[in-house]
Amino acid sequence: MLARLRFPLESSRGRSYPEPEHPYRNAFQRDRDRVIHSRAFRRLEAKTQVFAPGLSDHFRNRLTHTIEVAQIARTLAGVLELDEVLTEALALAHDIGHPPFAHAGEEELNRQMARFGERFEHNLHALRIVESFEQRYARFPGLNLTFEVREGMVKHSRDFGPGEQPEVERFLPGLRPPLEAQLIDLADEVAYNSADLDDAFSAGLATGDDVAACVPQYRAIHETIENQFPGATARERFHEVLRRLIDVLVSGLIEGTAGRAREAGVANAEEVRLFPGRLAAFTPEAAETSRALKSFLYRNVYSSAALGEDRNQSMALIGGLFQFFLDRPDCLPPQYREQALAEPAHRVVCDYIAGMTDGFLRRTYEQMIGPAAAR
Ligand code: MG
């Protein structure tokens, strides 16, 4: 497959603070393990993915979503003969910078930061977590991950040119990340499209027929399953379709990436970096299915009244707490008060809130401001 494009571990740019090698784990294995052992990783369990817990115990949270992305990404890397461990480390780290309350949380933090001419972006926040906020080592701040894992974290969803972003200027602006990192965003897309459909089905926001009416590829599989299992329950049929749909998307991603690499004529990992575009891609048919699923989810799920209410409340809680800490920096925990001596208050407040789980944010809001409106 693409073994020639696999990122060669021996050409890694290494760690910011040199460390002796481990007797039996290579650098990317250690990075993966460091991510799993971090506090930010464990906190994913109490952060909303799309559906807030409460209505059901079966919805994804950001941790179970992350595990699904890692599983899909590992499969992709394995079939394509890329570095599975680097891919897995990146998949496990891909959402650790996510604030509480899913996208509503990210949007609200970004809106608050925009008042100060700045922004909040979860990939940059993830970099701050692994480079400084995690405190587990006596000899250095953060997790001291290899260059390629940190580069993949900041570039997994988009590229940037020289001078575009001062915070990440050290991560080879203008160059593509290794193919292992390019896979993450698309593995994420497969995982969340299928998982959100599943959770929407559980929440009663969508039926198999609803999806079939909007997504031709889904409809085709749906019809086959109806004929094959006429006596199955709606739930069983839905899962039969969903499983095949994931297969179609993952296969489209394998085929699309292999095809594009062939057309591009790239010979090694260095040429992947120099190639003007990304090589990880769906086939055109799988891309169309992915787009159709996304637009179905936007119309029927993400913008539904059920999620809209949660969203407004989440934004109000974050906005309220942000302003509270700006007005009362003396109420911040000691390490953030210390950070505020060196950095602007809005940045410190943003870092503090971004690290919170949904539950911790609610509790802090109640402690500092008072009872939030019931949800
Ligand atoms: Mg994700």
Mean pLDDT by 10 residues, the chain (375 residues): 97 97 98 98 94 84 97 98 98 96 94 96 94 94 98 91 91 96 97 96 94 97 96 95 97 98 97 97 98 97 89 94 96 93 95 95 95 65
In order, the DSSP letters of 191-218 are HHHHHHHHHHHHTTS--HHHHHHH-HHH
DSSP state of 300: I
**Cα 294 to middle of ligand 1, angstroms:** 14
The tokens for 8 are 């060669």
Ligand 1 centroid to residue 300 C-alpha, Å:
20
Token pair 């993952």: residue: 250
Smallest Cα–Cα separation from 80: which of 249, 261, 288, 326?
261
How far is the C-alpha of 63 from the C-alpha of 59, rounded, in Å? 11
CA of 61 to the centre of ligand 1 (A): 10
Ligand 1 mean position, distance from CA 192 (Å): 7
* CA neighbor of 191 nearest in space, from 244, 232, 240, 246: 246
Report the separation in Å between the CA atom of 185 and the middle of ligand 1, taken as the mean of its atom positions: 8
370 CA to middle of ligand 1, Å? 32
Residue 18 alpha carbon to ligand 1 centre in Å: 30
d(CA 203, ligand 1 centre) in Å: 20
Please check whether residue 154 is in contact with residue 127, taking contact to mean a CB–CB distance below 8 angstroms: yes
How far is ligand 1, taken at its centre, from the CA of residue 224, in Å? 31
Whether pTM exceeds 0.85: yes
pLDDT at 55: 72
Distance 94 CA to ligand 1 centre (A): 6
**pLDDT at residue 375, as a whole number:** 47
Ligand 1 centroid from CA 95, angstroms: 5
Contact 253, 286 (CB under 8 A): yes
CA 22 to chain CA centroid, nearest Å? 29
Residue 269 CB burial class (10 angstroms; 0-12, 13-18, ≥19): buried
User: Per DSSP, what are the bridge partners of residue 61?
Assistant: 48
357, 100 contact by CB (below 8 A): yes
- The 8-class DSSP code of residue 3 comes to G
CB 181 within 8 A of CB 145: no
Residue 129, C-beta contacts closer than 8 angstroms, at least 6 positions apart: 38, 40, 96, 97, 142, 355
SS3 48: strand
3-state secondary structure of 61: strand
Distance 66 CA to ligand 1 centre (A): 6
| CA 69 / ligand 1 centre spacing (Å) | 7
3-state helix, strand, coil split of the chain in percent (to 5) is 65, 0, 35
Say how many Å lie between the CA of residue 166 and the centre of ligand 1.
Answer: 24
Tell me, what's the pLDDT at 57?
81
Contact predicate 208/236, CB 8 Å: no
Which residue, among 22, 44, 19, 47, has the nearest Cα to 33 in the 3D structure?
Answer: 22
Distance 357 CA to ligand 1 centre (A): 16
Q: What is the 260 CA–ligand 1 centroid distance (Å)? A: 24
Closest to 188 measured CA to CA, from 253, 97, 129: 253
